[in-house]
Structure 1
């Protein structure tokens, strides 16, 4: 239990760092420069207690201490969500917990960059290789499964890319997912992602392009948990 609690706290703290990396990368900055984290509104350096995951947000009542501008609730919500998922999916095995942590941080980075900048960095997909260890019965998909899955992705691409319904980053992510989950679970994952994204698409303006990778990442976690 102690190991699980340690990894839960570690996941929450690592989430804060991954979010910082994703945010700064889109701003053309590096994770270590500027040296101090800052408010995205007034750009004043934050105190140590403001950087405590979840607690810093609550202590400031959701507003920057300096400029009183609202803090993006995505930051504490993602910290709490990753900590909760780590607690639910982890265990007493340290190696398994490390795989879960890497997997969650990869999904978080993909989600954050797509939400903020609608971009997928292909290198972030490397973190999904941990699925090979998280899926107990995983093996390389058979040629027939790869052929069916590849044909399905080509069909989806031809159907959606010309109409800008799905981006190339979405298809790259789905390609990796189909390799690990197979075509059957891959299709289920895509359907779950569409259902998760449906309310956002229903109430959004037609001219606004909505990010789809967050729904795909959440669907990946759900399929991993409920369809082992």
Structure 2
């Protein structure tokens, strides 16, 4: 089976500091890949390049065979709204909207009716155990609630690929286990591929395989991982 998403020889430098040094990745439908490594090794930069948030300095990213890293931002933004789901470390919820409106927003931006979008939002909030937060604005939520609302927003479009940067970072162990079980089930049932950046060995255990980075490169030994060191 051909990979769903491929990255070849990705490089990215901030000023004079290399973040990625020739990283390759193949991602298949329904597969969960955990990206791990020490702080500053390039994990989040890789996720941003794969999802089209950042363009690499060199190399290429292809989705279903089509190159996306050299396309215009409006196209990459549309991919993130329709085919990709993105969960960043701090959620980035819109403060003026309720939780339900935040989750429904991608569907409404895609032309869906408000009623259908809000119904889908309610379903996902309930699945993630935060149904009671539906009418609350982000400023009234705990860190764990905010993270689960952001995850619901990333999942509501039933993305082909989900990119998650420390998805359980603001959650306690029980809530984190709930989130990872849900991600695993969605990946299996819907064929969603998942790229999860994490420093947590418990989270990585849900993955089919790990990609370990060390100083911006893939570490074939896996020794670039430091258990318990934050990303």
TM-score, normalising length from structure 2? Answer: 0.32
- Higher relative contact order structure (alpha carbons within 8 Å, sequence separation ≥ 6): 2
Structure number having the greater helix percentage: 1
